Amino acid sequence: MKVIRLELGFFKVNCYILCLDNLNIIIDPGSDFNEIEKCLKNEEITPDFILNTHGHYDHISAVPEIIKKYSIPFYIHKLEEPIITDPVKNLSSFFNGNELLLKTYNLIEENNYTYFNDFGLNIINTPGHTPGSIIIRYCDVLFTGDLLFKGSIGRTDLTGGDSQKIKNSLKILKGMDKDLIIYPGHGESSTLKFEFDTNYYLNDNFLNS
């Protein structure tokens, strides 16, 4: 397994390329298609599919170009469909200057989770930042999107955000291996243990408030 991290765009979103045996996955390809393509060429990687933690434009901006270039499927949770198809809800109309709505996508729902399980990927719906936010676990790594950052958590004041739901989603992490390496949607990597020891938002007082 190899994890490549690219920090892209004005909002410095983390795009990850997860390289497994005979499988290469692009996670959250935001903002800069050229940088992603350059990395794929330099590393001699052919991507197999795109998997997104949620549908805000800073995480999906490069999706159309990647689909066009590599003819690969794009997967996102079914509850994100209203976001990726609406420039207001995905925020592209506010920040990007070019309205973005995706027309080519595959929806993740409970009846097709086994597709990802076959690759060893565990998909967990973690609403709060957006209704269809997911985290992705593979072996000893956890891609947390905008649920959990090093020292912080995702905001809940955007369309579809819910402060109580994000607390419930954060509680899911309590039952996970504390040695998991965290790869968040923004910022530096961490471990669950470090976050439970230092992150105020994983404190029981906050989670149960």
| Domain boundaries, given as residue ranges, for the chain | 2-207
What pLDDT score does 97 carry?
63
The answer to whether the beta carbons of residues 86 and 56 sit under 8 Å apart is no
Considering the domain 2-207 in this protein, what is its CATH number? 3.60.15.10
Summarised one tens digit per residue, pLDDT across range 192-209 is 999 999 999 999 999 999
C-beta of residue 10 within 8 angstroms of C-beta of residue 147: no
Phi, psi for 191 (deg, rounded to 5)? -130, 155
The model carries a pTM of 0.96
Q: What is the DSSP string of 62-77?
A: THHHHHHHH---EEEE
Pairing state between β 49-51 and 23-27:
parallel
Integer angstrom CA distances of residue 80 from 44, 52, 109, 133, 147: 31, 10, 11, 8, 15
Q: What are phi and psi of 69, to 5 degrees?
A: -75, -45
The residues, ordered by sequence, that sit 6+ positions from 34 with a Cβ below 8 Å of its Cβ are none
pLDDT digits (tens, 9 = 90+) for 3-37: 999 999 888 999 999 999 999 999 999 989 999 99
pLDDT digits (tens, 9 = 90+) for 44-64: 999 999 999 999 999 999 999
